[in-house]
Amino acid sequence: MSSIGQITAYARFAVGLRRYLHEPATAELGREAIGRLLLERESSFLTLVRRAVYENERSPYLALLQMAGCEYGDLERMVRSDGIESTLTRLRDAGVYVTIDEFKCRKDIVRSSTAIHCEPQDFDNPFLHRSIATGSSGSRSPGTSTRMNLDRSRYHALNYTVVFSAHGLTGRPTLLCMPILPSAAGLGMLLQSSKMGVPPVRWFSPVQGRTIRPAIAKRLATLYAVYAGRLFGVPMPSPEYVSTDRTGLIADSLVGVLKRGQGCVVFASPSLSVRVCQVAHATGRSLAGATFVASGEPLTPAKMNEISSVGAGAVNLYAFAECGIVGFSCAGEKPVCDDIHLIRSSVAVIQRRRDTPYGGGSVDAFLFTSLFNKAPKILLNAESGDYGVLETRTCGCELGDLGFTQHLHTIRSFDKLTGEGMTFVGTDVVRIIEEVLPSRFGGFSIDYQMMELEDKEGRTRLNVLVSPAVGEVDEARVVDCVLAELSKGSDTNRMMAEIWRQGGTLRVQREPPHLTKGGKLLSLHIVRGGQVDL
């Protein structure tokens, strides 16, 4: 965006922020908004596709629909007679979907003999205003630039009010433990919790601007929102940098808030949540009354156990930058701890069986369709790189009673490595494993492998396997080399690599790379509870 464009966006943002902060989100308003959106679900979908796809000749989905011979009238008839999900399934079978590589423009879209070349902005939502451009906590690949939008933030805050009500968290004080921009998650949560009338007591960022050197516009955006918010009467905290070895500071602050007797909601990645709980455990303190709202990586049974062991609870949130929030923890009986209600008011999901690029097996990938005209990107059967279980069931919790009857659980990624809420796409890591490490430390591409696993304390670890055949290597230098390579390219990458460095997420393991059950050697070996048919 040009400087003038940036200034105009900031000016619009300020005007919107004032109004935004003066209309508090309540659970009652949340239930009303969701109920209305569920009633209008089909119309919203049709209007969005008509305007953002059929009337937008740059849309990659338009070419796919034309190849499938689906005119707008056909789509409308199918939706009105069979519903959205059934229509999406028929479209998928006719080739109307985009894989994660196509969605991120890492590859052309190829169907039959036709190739469609796309640029990342071709997937942009053309109807967004009052937005500030941000990065994402995603990868270095193109197409991850998304926009902070107050209308979307309002909708997310309304969802949160209902979720807080379902989980008995309404009105509790909050702590924010998420990175500053270029990750949009921290600033987004600051705005949403402020809208709910519970701005964070403190904001702890696991990264500092000095280390990751974000673009000036991004540094200004954070300060701008905080100071504008204060000007409009909301006591928004400035971000405070807390390195991993000072996690005790967060635990101290949390215990301090809990002493007020009103509980506390902590917005943090599952890894950081676990680390706070471990510090509390080591110092013999209970975190009863604390609830971690955990997002950015899977909330696994091991992590949940660590959180429960100090008396705290966790509410799982599933979101990704291009779509926004997809779902929230069920408040009823759950088959597994990461079970979420799909927010059907704004998202539709079906699945597609596909081979995994690194797992050596196949998975039921999620295909997302956004029904919300303020979504960062237009999604029509678009992969996010995740797979898992999709099912419809009655759970008896408030979210189910609202009409959120579809659940997703056991959600894992098939193309990314995730740790500490940060993800790098597999292709970036493969290049380092297969090319950079052998050239720097000797051996061949098959002598190295990156393995993602969870240790017995619930922490996600990424082990760099170095075959003994390579001979003597300086393990610290291997870790430094991988982090230096990962941090290249953008401030988002520097931020993610810094978080991995601090978290001690990467370790060297001297053993030969593992083979899949099919006997294949893959540069990435992802060990996840038997969900991939390796």
**Binding site residues, Zn ion, CB under 5 A:** 330, 332, 395, 397, 399-400
The least CB distance from residue 332 to Zn ion, in Å, is 4
Element (H, E) at 317: strand 313-320
> Directed axis angle between helix 150-166 and helix 184-195, to 10°?
70
Residues 6+ apart with CB under 8 A from 388: 364, 366, 408, 409, 410, 411, 412, 531
**SS3 letters for 102-133?**
HHCCCCCEEECCEEECCCHHHHECCCCCCEEE
Preceding amide of 239 cis, omega within 30: no
- CA angle at 28 for the pair 23 and 29, rounded to the nearest 5°: 40
Considering the complex, what minimum distance in angstroms separates the CB of residue 330 from Zn ion? Answer: 3
CB of 398 to Zn ion, least distance (A): 8
| Kind of pairing between the strands at 422-425 and 448-454 | unpaired
**Paired strand residues for 324:** 320
Q: Which is nearer to Zn ion, 182 or 400 (CB)?
A: 400
Smallest gap from Cβ 169 to Zn ion, in A, equals 15
Nearest-approach distance from CB 185 to Zn ion, in angstroms: 24
**329 or 523: CB nearest Zn ion:** 329
Question: Least separation, in Å, of the C-beta of 299 and Zn ion?
Answer: 15
CA torsion through residues 71, 74, 80, 86, sign: negative
Closest CA to 408 of 393, 423, 420, 421: 393
For the bound state, the minimum distance from the C-beta of residue 476 to Zn ion, rounded and expressed in Å, comes to: 46
Using alpha carbons, list the distances in angstroms from residue 466 to 122, 150, 362, 438, 485.
41, 47, 27, 10, 17
Nearest distance in Å: CB 326, Zn ion: 15
229 vs 400 by CB, closer to Zn ion: 400
Q: Whose Cβ is closer to Zn ion: residue 357's or residue 400's?
A: 400
- 287/397 with CB nearer Zn ion: 397
Least distance from Zn ion to the Cβ atom of residue 30, Å: 16
Q: State which residue, 321 or 395, has the beta carbon closest to Zn ion.
A: 395
Neighbouring-strand partners of residue 204 = 240
For residue 198, the minimal CB distance to Zn ion (Å) is: 23
Angle at which helix 301-308 crosses helix 270-282, to 10 degrees, equals 40
Q: Which is nearer to Zn ion, 260 or 393 (CB)?
A: 393
Tell me whether residue 400 or residue 503 sits nearer to Zn ion (CB atom): 400
Alpha carbon 200 to chain centroid, angstroms: 21
Specify the DSSP element, H or E, that contains 449. Answer: strand 448-454
Q: Do the Cβ atoms of 382 and 124 come closer than 8 Å?
A: no
Q: What angle do CA 464, 426, 306 make, to 5 degrees?
A: 65
Burial 393-423 (b: 16+ CB within 10 A, else e): eebebbbbebbbbbbbbbbbbbbbbbbbbbb
Q: How far is the CB of 316 from Zn ion (least distance, A)?
A: 12
Output 48 or 395, the one with its CB closest to Zn ion.
395
Cβ closer to Zn ion: 31 or 281? 31
Over the range 72-100, which residues count as b (16 or more CB within 10 Å of their CB) and which as e?
eeebeebbeeeebbebbbbbbeebbbbbb
Nearer to Zn ion, 342 or 378 (CB): 342
Using the minimum distance from each CB to Zn ion, give the nearer residue, 275 or 341: 341
Q: Taking the complex as a whole, how short is the minimal distance between the CB of residue 327 and Zn ion, in angstroms? A: 10
Return the structure tokens found at 354: 């596909």
